[in-house]
Amino acid sequence: MVMISRKLLPPTKSFYLFGPRGTGKSTWLRTTYPNAKWFNLLRNAELFRLMQDPELFRKEVEALPHGSWVVLDEIQRYPALLNEVHDLLSSSPKGKYNFVLTGSSARKLKRSGVNLMAGRAIQRKMFPFVSTEVDLSHSIESCLRFGTLPECYLNETEQEKIEFLESYLDTYLREEIKEEALVRKLEPFSRFLKVAALMNGQQANLANISREAAVSRPTVQGYFEVLVDTLIGYWLPALQNRAKIKESAHPKFYFFDPGVVRVLASKVREPLSDIERGLQLETLLLNEMRAYLSYQGKGGTLSFWRTPHGTEIDLIFEGATQPKECIGFEIKSSPRWRSEYSKTLKELLDQGAIKQGYGIYLGGSPLKDGRVSVLNVQSFLKNLWSGKIIS
């Protein structure tokens, strides 16, 4: 596979590295820390070896030279090792050992009650490919159809991409869900996944999802928790108390990759429809923004704004420092920007609810629509990563 430099910068001390399966955590670590002592807990033989004799882990680490890096890959498969890691860090001179603790699920870590070493290991996240790692701007249609998971993106043919995503779904259900016993029954969870994918990027109506998936509402809530804990999706909250009009408070749910959305919805073998394109573009750009904030170490929050009457802004960024930087983004999959697309952004700018407003579309040229700056996708991605949009 072609080696591509990732945007994530390596920390200088012990850290957690979280990210969904297939985002390239292990590849990045083997490139970044080629001499690290590696414990691959995804391999059953390695997992059982340590479970049968937990002292082996400590003995093997203590035999390493000063300053060694130790990788515990997929730590959620054996959370008890975190206690050993914490004790080694506490009882040893600073810098003697440095640990990387990777995981594609935080669920078992949360429920096991293990020591998460607050203050001794920072957290980092890995995302699918972003536009500063590969040139997404010249393959937007493919990214909307198949996403940007590294192995999928680097496959050359559509058939290879489809087969990868279908295999990814099977791996997620089999290894992450069934083998880790995260849900009691796989069949109703599979039905829920399809309904949730069809609702990607929309405000979640749990009652409707419950009815469509033929499972109870509490079960639906639990299933969404599984998706969040396994890093497959996340909630985008509604921004409140910013405008003079009452806002809607129900959050939206997004999956972490457009290709994963389509394979979960059983649409990956179909051409991209015009109805899909808008939400797929939102998903792609929202995850690009999440990656930017994480990789660049920016604070702040992301949300959306919507009134009960349907007026909406797709994305709001609110900075962490005072005075808070508040920026609105309206995303359209149209090749032509219409003035009505800027209406709500202009209203929020006039009210002082946001300080800047951007439109993003699939057209060819950046535009200016009153106080709203309209960027094509290529310009938006370039300006985002150069710090011209969120400083």
User: What CA–CA distance (Å, rounded) separates 330 from 328?
Assistant: 7
In this prediction, residues 174-190 reach a mean pLDDT of 80
| Structural domains in the chain, sorted by start | 15-125 (3.40.50.300), 130-391 (no CATH)
Per-residue pLDDT at 243: 47
- The Cβ of residue 371 has, within 10 Å, a number of other Cβ atoms equal to 12
pLDDT of residue 349: 94
Q: Per residue in 316-345, pLDDT tens?
A: 999 987 677 899 999 999 999 999 999 999
- pLDDT class of 241 with cuts at 50, 70, 90: low
Q: Is the pTM of this model over 0.85?
A: yes
Q: At what angle do helices 274-295 and 377-385 cross, to 10 degrees?
A: 10
SS3 161: helix
Nearest Cα to Cα of residue 122 among 13, 17, 19, 15: 15
pLDDT tens profile 160-174: 999 999 999 998 887
Residue 245 reports pLDDT greater than 50: no
Q: Is the pLDDT of residue 114 over 60?
A: no
In 3D space, the residue among 233, 325, 242 whose CA is nearest the CA of residue 317 turns out to be 325
Q: What is the DSSP string of 77-106?
A: GSTTHHHHHHHHHHHS-TTSEEEEEEES-S
Identify which has the larger pLDDT, 110 or 13.
13
Number of CB atoms found within 10 A of residue 29's CB? 20
Residue 201: its pLDDT value, please? Answer: 95
